């Protein structure tokens, strides 16, 4: 649901959004991982050098909007 929403929002900005199970993240080689808090630690373990941004709510979470804003403004995104 989030991946589809983000893909639609960012389609005019040359951003590729995919959905991937945590155990297949290495195959995707993402620049950024956005995942629910329950999967955050596993995602960080799978991809320790990739920023992992965790969110709590699937709809209206401010973390998701902050990622969208950072992409649109060309800002660096980190998980710190």
Long-range interactions of 50-56: CB distance < 8 A, separation 24+ = 50/25, 51/77, 51/78, 51/79, 52/79, 53/77, 53/79, 54/79, 55/2
What are the boundaries of each domain within the chain? Answer: 2-73
Q: How far does CA 9 lie from the centroid of its chain?
A: 13
- Write down the pTM of the prediction: 0.89
CATH-assigned architecture of domain 2-73: 3-Layer(aba) Sandwich (3.40)
What average pLDDT does this structure show over 66-78? 94
The predicted structure's pLDDT at residue 1? 80
Q: Which tens digit of pLDDT belongs to each residue from 9-30?
A: 999 999 999 999 999 999 999 9
């Amino acid at each position: 649901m989030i991946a589809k929403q983000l893909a639609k929002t960012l389609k005019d900005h040359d951003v590729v959004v995919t959905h991937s199970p945590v155990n297949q993240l290495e195959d995707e080689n993402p620049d950024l991982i956005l995942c629910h808090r329950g999967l955050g630690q596993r995602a960080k373990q799978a991809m320790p050098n990739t920023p992992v941004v965790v969110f709590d709510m699937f709809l209206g979470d401010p973390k998701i909007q902050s990622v969208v804003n950072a992409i649109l403004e060309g800002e660096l995104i980190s998980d710190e």
